[in-house]
Structure 1
Amino acid sequence: MMIRGSALRKTSLAEELAGRLRKQITAGKFGVGEKLPPEPELMRIFGVGRSTVREAVRMLANTGLLKVQQGTGTFVENLSAQGEPMEQRLKRADIRDLDEVRRILEAAIAEKAAGRRTEKDLGRMEEHLRERGAAAAAGELDACIAADIAFHTAVAEATHNEILAELYRSVSVHLQRGFRRIYDDTSCLLASQPSHEKLTGHIAAREPREALRTIALILEEP
């Protein structure tokens, strides 16, 4: 079966090649037990060197997708990754998938934070919220996105559920990169500042239901 390819441009050519191959494998272009084209052909298709091909194959073999048989070739072992670390999975995740996870997490986080927050938690939230508003008003996109992520992370930490907070921190690292691609300026972030202030007010007042309603509105904002 033919592999479609084009020249690779990213800094980590091996990671990019691994991603291209992974997509074709999980899409079913290769069946379990099917042999991949030899190294020279992969080098020609993707315009990369031998070391890049070998590193990409090693990455996929480590996740259980491929199996390398010395002297025979490289074969598809599974159609989905079995042992891929979550951090690596998040790194290559589509921004829409990350946003869906964020929506699920933030609903639970807002409700729990309103019932468990401490004065110290509230202080951190308010500090990051002020930074968010100032950066949005000044048109400083990177600073505004960073403050927005820091605010929501502070809300997650206010749940005092370390697993929930760590899940949000892991997702937020990659969301931050995605937001930089989505937003051209701070106009949307500035427009959503009042709703974030309202959320903080409900958390401060220990109003879980109202916090849940407000985060639902925030998640529907641009």
Structure 2
Amino acid sequence: MQKILPLYSSDDKMYMQIQRKTLAQEVADRLIQGIINDEYAIGDKLPTEPELMKIYGVGRSSIREAIKILSIKGVLSVQQGVGTFVISKNIQESLETKINKAEFNEVYEVRSLLDSKIAARAAVHRSEKELETIKMYLDLRDQFAEENQALKCYQADINFHISIAEACGNNLLKEIYKITSKHIFRTFESSHNNNTDSFKLSQKIHADLYSCIENKDPENAARIAQLIVDRVY
């Protein structure tokens, strides 16, 4: 299971919703690359746990979790008392992996298709508690933008949009949006140069989106969400 890392201390209200890759997943990814590159052929026995710990520079629990991940995928077979063997190279990339490898314009196109639909559904399905969460991240977005706390501002913006997805009433849309949001956060880090000016400029239109969701106005929520994606402020 991937770990959800807090952005602040336990005394703060805002938490990192974007999941970071664990050491176990990183080891699993490297093992997969080794299998694809024929470092480990089908039928080969993997090195022992201590050897793998030395190769990848991680602890025993990370090695065991990585092996478990690949066993579930049908790539490895663990034979108690004998060892762990490569049994398949038929590795299907997850949606998350594919999105991580995608170009920015591809992710942007996906977001363009999702945002207006999600906003419209959130305006219909949101609960009062979900509305409070959306407002909390909207306010944090504004606060951190004004304070020029760039990374916290970027995360508040992402969490604002994720909280709208959480309120949309469609679990599949929500999960797809969460995955694309990881890519969006990385583009913020690389393209905004620790600057929050564009977030200050777009605060009002984000507040307008919140108002539409609060007032259960799906048509205008969809319209404004699309304007945000298209950066028409």
Superposed pair shares fold, TM > 0.5: yes
> Which deviates more from structure 2 when the two are superposed, residues 115-124 or residues 197-206?
115-124
| SS in structure 2 at match of 1:110 | helix
Conservation of the 8 A alpha-carbon contact between 1:145 and 1:179: no
Show the counterpart of 1:19.
29
| SS in structure 2 at match of 1:67 | strand
Conservation of the 8 A alpha-carbon contact between 1:115 and 1:207: yes
1:167 aligns with 2:178: no
Q: How does 1:3-152 map to 2 (within 5 A)?
A: 14-23=24-33, 25=35, 28-30=36-38, 34-36=42-44, 38-39=46-47, 46=55, 48=57, 55=64, 56-68=66-78, 74-81=85-92, 90=96, 94=100, 96=102, 99=107, 104-117=113-126, 122-152=131-161
Identity of aligned residues (%): 24
Once the 2 structures are TM-superposed, how far is the Cα of residue 20 of structure 1 from its aligned partner? 1.6
Name structure 2 gaps, 5 residues minimum: 1-20
Conservation of the 8 A alpha-carbon contact between 1:128 and 1:148: yes
CA change 1:194–1:63 in 2 (3 A) is same
* Distance in 1, Cα, partners of 2:67 & 2:219: 49
Scaled by the length of structure 1, what TM-score is found?
A: 0.62
CA change 1:22–1:97 in 2 (3 A) is farther
Number of residues of Structure 1 aligned to a counterpart in Structure 2 = 203
Name structure 1 gaps, 5 residues minimum: 1-10
Q: Which has the larger radius of gyration?
A: 1
* Distance in 2, Cα, partners of 1:120 & 1:47: 44
* Distance in 2, Cα, partners of 1:60 & 1:118: 39
Show the counterpart of 1:217.
227
* Distance in 2, Cα, partners of 1:49 & 1:147: 32
Once the 2 structures are TM-superposed, how far is the Cα of residue 132 of structure 1 from its aligned partner? 1.0
CA change 1:175–1:67 in 2 (3 A) is same
CA change 1:134–1:120 in 2 (3 A) is same
Once the 2 structures are TM-superposed, how far is the Cα of residue 154 of structure 1 from its aligned partner? 3.5
Scaled by the length of structure 2, what TM-score is found?
A: 0.59
CA change 1:62–1:213 in 2 (3 A) is same
Show the counterpart of 1:8.
none
Once the 2 structures are TM-superposed, how far is the Cα of residue 168 of structure 1 from its aligned partner? 6.6
**Which letter maps to 2:74?**
G
